[in-house]
């Protein structure tokens, strides 16, 4: 065999693997862009934005409202957790006095 044939036999599988990895990376990149709403690129490097239909716009509005509600609920839960942590970590003597003070306020 000639040296060129041996070179092709040696480098052929390596080149094939590199091409396969590059193609798989391109497919994964495109899939992630589509999945997360990033614009694709044309052959000239200009972004190609997916068309937004009425259903998508309404879905985004609903998700934004739900997100705001969940953030508000999370804020209240953090406040409640702060109170529970304070109760658990405070000494019993001070806690007893605070409870008695609240009872006195309620009685008056």
Beta strands in 6-100 (DSSP E): 40-41, 47-48
Residue 37 contacts residue 50 (beta carbons within 8 Å): yes
Model pTM greater than 0.75? no
- Predicted local confidence at residue 79, as pLDDT: 93
pLDDT digits (tens, 9 = 90+) for 4-60: 788 878 888 899 999 999 999 999 988 888 888 777 777 677 777 666 778 888 888
What is the Cα–Cα distance from 51 to 73, expressed in whole angstroms?
33
What's 22's DSSP letter?
A: H
pLDDT single digits (tens) 80-106: 999 888 877 877 777 788 888 888 887
């Amino acid at each position: 065999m000639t040296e060129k044939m041996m070179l092709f036999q040696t480098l052929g599988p390596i080149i094939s693997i590199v091409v396969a990895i590059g193609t798989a990376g391109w497919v994964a990149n495109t899939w992630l862009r589509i999945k997360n709403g990033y614009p694709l690129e044309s052959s000239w490097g200009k972004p190609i934005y997916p068309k937004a239909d009425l259903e998508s716009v309404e879905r985004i509005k609903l998700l934004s409202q739900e997100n705001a509600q969940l953030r508000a609920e999370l804020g209240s839960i953090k406040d409640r957790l702060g109170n529970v942590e304070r109760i658990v970590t405070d000494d019993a003597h001070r806690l007893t006095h605070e409870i008695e003070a609240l009872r006195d306020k309620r009685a008056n």
